[in-house]
């Protein structure tokens, strides 16, 4: 199943993949040819001197030199071309997956833990890349050259083919397959453990502060270290298996050589073939085994690759956000909720049922209510982040599911409860929202949230780097910066989720008054009294008792 999908992926960069494959195959053929000709030449010379025959010396010795150079050049081309093909495929896959992740609906996003999502995009793709170079290509090449050598052998004698095919199949297919079956469990465990470690490490780093202050650092560290020990143990066992199969491969190739010499020797004695041909066949077959070398590792890591492919596929097939295509004509004047029913995630009970209300662009609204009564969920639904379970949200006259989100977000913006912005300098944060905006516009947005003096006081003022999630800002400053970004977008509707948290009462009052006095279409979720007197409507939510 995974293989079919992989092949389909290859089709997108057919040419590159084929070129890589071809050069790889030619290189292995040249290598076999070199050894075979060398064997033939030497034996022919030996025979010639023993039996006193004259030989054309020039052609074979030139052929040997030619093949030697050809092989070297082809090997280089092969490496480059197959890597090129693999990288092209991976680049494509990476962007496709990233866009898939962007389009995932809110529930699906919650379900894929973010660390996991990132792993899918990163190491899983890398595994697939290796799959092409280390698994797919060598397998195809080994199969093709094996078939060719068999055909040549068959031209001389069937018993030779039998001997070769037996050894070749044993070394190339049987032993790796056995090892793979044996190693499959190990491999699955390893892959699972690695995912777990990765997720937990990401979790650990993000929660490092909490873990540290709770005094649980050594404990957590011990847990992670145990996991790392497990991984190391599994990896060691796999290495052993790999060593085992490659040892068997060498032994099988030697056995094959021996077998062919014996059978061909009999043929020679019965005067069916010449001495030189005998040696050519034997050494040629021996050289053919070289192509099998990557195969054992390939089959061993097959489960790992299959898992990576499955995980990537799962992401690509994840539930997509439903997006309409209609555009709003003119300004967004009103948002009407009709019998709206909302739940925060797919499994829990609904928070909001049968909610009917019209938000108008010329009024300001406040929403209050106890914890978990669905205030934030309503805001998320209004901006299209989550789809309603029942009922519809109508923007002007267009139903929410038919409206394109780009069009909606030109008219409506939400300042999330947790301060959130793309890391970069302050100026970058603003310019990605409105490319080419003036410095004055940025400054006025900053001064509206009383952050201008602070930012200008930073080293580099507007170009100061504000680290990941605004780490170099205090909690209240980060929140005000996020608020400034939302204000800066200057949409008709402005949704604010607890804008005053993390600010002291006086500052909250000042900022909210400034916002509510100068703007309309503000929908604000708040627990506090600040700014309520400036709202035209106050909605009070109650918690649904189930």
Residues of this chain, 93-152, that bind another protein according to CB under 8 A: 94-95, 98-99, 101-104, 106, 109-111, 113-115, 117-119, 121-123
Helix axis angle, 275-288 relative to 14-51, nearest 10°?
150
394 lines the binding site for another protein (CB under 8 A): no
Q: Judged by CB under 8 A, does residue 387 bind another protein?
A: no
- Cα–Cα distance list, 39 to 283, 291, 522 (Å): 6, 19, 87
**Exposed (0-12), middle (13-18) or buried (19+): which is 228, by Cβ within 10 Å?**
middle
Helix (H) or strand (E) holding 336: strand 334-342
Measured from the CB atom, is 345 or 439 closer to another protein? Answer: 345
Among 3, 18, 151, 432, binds another protein (CB under 8 A): 432
d(CA 467, CA 459): 13
* 456 is a site residue for another protein (CB under 8 A): no
Compute the least distance from the CB of residue 1 to another protein, in Å: 26
Among 3, 7, 46, 322, binds another protein (CB under 8 A): 46
Nearest to 520 by CA among 534, 509, 508: 534
Least distance to another protein from the beta carbon of 64, Å? Answer: 5
Per CB under 8 A, the segment of 1-9, 65-73, 328-336, 440-448 that binds another protein is 65-73
CB 377, min distance to another protein, A: 9
Mark 138-149 as b/e (b = at least 16 C-beta within 10 Å). Answer: bbebbbbbbeeb
Binds another protein by CB under 8 A, chosen from 9, 10, 32, 90: 90
C-alpha–C-alpha distance, residues 285 and 214, integer Å: 66
Give the x/- contact pattern for another protein in 343-372, rule: CB under 8 A: -xx--xx------------------xxxxx
Q: Is 67 in the site for another protein (CB under 8 A)?
A: yes
153-174 core/surface letters (b: 16 or more CB in 10 A; e: else): beebbeebbebbbebbebbbbe
CA distance 286 to 252: 10
- Contact segment (CB under 8 A) with another protein among 10-18, 174-182, 358-366, 380-388 equals 380-388
Separation of alpha carbons 132 and 138, rounded Å: 9
We find the least distance from the C-beta atom of residue 169 to another protein, in angstroms, to be 19
Nearer CB in complex with another protein: 3/53: 53
Q: Least distance (Å) from another protein to the CB of residue 450?
A: 9
Task: Indicate whether 211 belongs to the interface with another protein (CB under 8 A).
Answer: yes
Judge whether 139 and 227 are in contact, CB under 8 Å: no
Query: What x-and-dash track marks residues 234-253 binding another protein by CB under 8 A?
Result: -xxx-xx-xxx-xxx-xx--
Determine phi and psi for 428, rounding to 5 degrees. Answer: -60, -40
Q: How many residues bind another protein (CB under 8 A)?
A: 173
**For another protein, the closer CB: 344 or 391:** 344
DSSP notation for 350-405: PSEEEEEEEEETTS-EEEE-STTSSHHHHHHHHTTSS--SEEEEEETTEEGGGB-H
Determine the length of the chain: 546
Residue 283 touching another protein (CB under 8 A): yes
- Are 510 and 483 within 8 A, CB to CB? no
Q: Segment 292-331, which members bind another protein (CB under 8 A)?
A: none
| Contact code string over 501-520 relative to another protein, x by CB under 8 A | xxxxx-xx------------
Q: Which is nearer to another protein, 283 or 535 (CB)?
A: 283
Residues 8-37 that bind another protein (CB under 8 A): 31, 34-35, 37
CB of 440 to another protein, least distance (A): 21
- 540: contact with another protein by CB under 8 A: no
Q: Residues with Cβ < 8 Å from 250, sequence gap 6 or more?
A: none
The reply to whether 182 sits near another protein by the rule CB under 8 A is: no
Q: Is 447 in the site for another protein (CB under 8 A)?
A: no
Residue pair 155/277 in contact by the 8 Å Cβ criterion: no
Q: Smallest gap, in angstroms, from Cβ of residue 354 to another protein?
A: 20
269 contacts another protein (rule: CB under 8 A)? yes
φ/ψ region of 300 (left if φ > 0, alpha if ψ in -120 to 50, else beta) reads: alpha
Question: Shortest Cβ distance from residue 6 to another protein (Å)?
Answer: 19
Asked if 55 interacts with another protein (CB under 8 A), we say yes
């Amino acid at each position: 199943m995974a293989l079919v999908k992989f092949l389909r992926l290859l089709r997108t960069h057919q040419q590159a993949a084929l070129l890589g494959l071809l050069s790889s195959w030619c290189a292995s053929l040249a290598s076999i040819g070199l050894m075979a000709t060398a064997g033939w030449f030497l034996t022919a010379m030996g025979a010639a001197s023993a039996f006193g025959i004259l030989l054309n010396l020039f052609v074979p010795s030139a052929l040997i030199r030619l093949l030697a150079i050809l092989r070297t050049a082809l090997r280089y081309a092969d490496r480059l071309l197959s890597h090129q093909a693999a990288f092209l495929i991976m680049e494509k896959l990476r962007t496709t997956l990233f866009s898939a992740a962007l389009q995932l609906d809110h529930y699906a996003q919650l379900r894929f833990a973010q660390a996991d999502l990132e792993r899918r995009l990163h190491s899983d793709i890398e595994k697939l890349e290796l799959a092409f170079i280390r698994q797919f290509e060598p397998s195809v090449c080994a199969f093709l050259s094996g078939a060719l050598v068999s055909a040549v052998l068959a031209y001389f004698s069937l018993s030779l083919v039998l001997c070769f095919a037996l050894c070749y199949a044993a070394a190339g297919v049987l032993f790796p397959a056995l090892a793979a079956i044996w190693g499959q469990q190990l491999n699955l465990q390893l892959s699972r453990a690695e995912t777990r470690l990765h997720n937990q490490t990401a979790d650990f780093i993000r929660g490092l502060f909490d873990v540290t202050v709770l005094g649980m650092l050594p404990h957590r560290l011990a847990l992670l270290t145990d996991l790392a020990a497990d991984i190391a143990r599994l990896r060691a066992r796999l290495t052993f298996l790999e060593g085992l199969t490659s040892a068997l491969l060498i032994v099988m190739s030697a056995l094959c050589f021996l077998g062919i010499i014996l059978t061909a020797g009999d043929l020679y004695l019965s005067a069916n073939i010449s001495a030189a041909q005998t040696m050519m066949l034997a050494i040629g077959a021996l050289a053919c085994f070289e192509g099998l070398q990557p195969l054992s590792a390939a089959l061993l890591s097959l489960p790992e690759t299959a898992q990576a492919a499955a995980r990537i596929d799962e992401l690509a097939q994840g539930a997509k956000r439903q997006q309409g295509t209609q555009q709003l004509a003119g300004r967004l004047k009103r948002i009407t909720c009709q019998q709206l029913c909302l739940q925060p995630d797919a499994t829990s009970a609904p928070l909001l049922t049968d909610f009917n209300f019209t938000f108008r662009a010329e009024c300001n609204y406040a929403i209050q209510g106890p914890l978990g009564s669905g205030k934030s969920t309503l805001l998320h639904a209004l901006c299209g982040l989550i789809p309603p379970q029942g009922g519809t949200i109508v923007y002007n006259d267009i139903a929410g599911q038919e409206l394109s989100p780009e069009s909606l977000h030109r008219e409506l913006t939400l300042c999330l409860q947790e301060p959130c912005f793309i890391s970069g300098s302050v100026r970058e944060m603003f310019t990605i929202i409105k490319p080419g905006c003036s410095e004055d516009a940025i400054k006025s947005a900053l001064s509206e949230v009383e952050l201008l003096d602070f930012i200008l006081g930073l080293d580099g003022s507007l170009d100061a780097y504000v680290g990941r999630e605004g780490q170099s800002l205090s909690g209240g400053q980060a929140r005000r910066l996020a608020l400034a970004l939302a204000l800066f977008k200057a949409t008709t509707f402005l949704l604010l989720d607890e804008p005053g948290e993390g600010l002291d009462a006086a500052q909250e009052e000042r900022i909210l008054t400034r916002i509510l006095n100068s703007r309309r279409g503000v929908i604000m979720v708040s627990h506090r009294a600040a700014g309520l007197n400036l709202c035209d409507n106050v909605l009070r939510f109650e918690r649904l008792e189930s």
